Homo-oligomer: A and B are copies of this chain.
Amino acid sequence: MDRVEQWVSILQDNGCRITAPRRAILRVIAESPRALQPGDIFELSRVKHPSIGLVTVYRTLDQLEKLGLIQRVHRDDGCHMLMPAPTGHEHYLVCTHCGRTILFEGDDLGSLFTKVESQTGYLISDHWLQLFGTCPDCRKLEQ
């Protein structure tokens, strides 16, 4: 079962109805190697389902995020992009040239957190790590 169908059944299990505009949005996100902004998702979904409205995109993104199926990739300007959510202890690595975004394992962070907790007295409940760089393809183009 591909990712779209997985998402569809999770949405249904949570009382959501599956409509054509919603399916278009799911496919756009699931098929993109890049993190997309809501506006991008709107434009791409419009190709598959021309009558779709931007509001529907926002509403669907909300639901997907609440169900933990997608996650925000934060940008310095305060806007954000969206990607299928990591399933484990993974974090995003974003190419600053083409936007291609992949995941890497962040297991190693546990020991840093323990150290910080004992040094600061804070109880750490959440963390946020994102890396930015140049992907292999863009590195080739730059030379």
Interface residues of A (CB under 8 A from B): 72, 74, 76, 78-80, 93, 95-96, 102, 104, 106, 108-109, 111-113, 115-117, 119-136, 139
When the two chains form the complex, which single residue of B80, B128, B131 contacts A130, counting CB atoms closer than 8 Å? Answer: B128
> Could you tell me if A120 and B132 are in contact, using CB atoms closer than 8 angstroms?
no
Listed by A's residue number, 13 A-B pairs whose Cβ atoms lie within 8 Å are A78-B79, A93-B116, A93-B120, A93-B122, A96-B125, A104-B120, A108-B112, A109-B112, A113-B131, A122-B131, A122-B136, A127-B131, A128-B128
What CA separation (Å) do A70 and B18 show in the bound complex?
Answer: 46
> Could you tell me if B108 and A135 are in contact, using CB atoms closer than 8 angstroms?
no
What CA separation (Å) do A127 and B129 show in the bound complex?
Answer: 7
> Could you tell me if B129 and A128 are in contact, using CB atoms closer than 8 angstroms?
yes
- CB neighbours (8 Å) of A117 from chain B are 133
Q: For the A-B complex with A78-B78, A123-B139, A128-B132 known, give 20 more contacts whose Cβ atoms are closer than 8 Å.
A: A74-B128, A96-B125, A96-B126, A102-B120, A108-B111, A116-B131, A121-B135, A121-B136, A121-B139, A122-B131, A122-B133, A122-B134, A123-B134, A124-B133, A125-B132, A126-B131, A127-B131, A128-B130, A128-B131, A129-B129
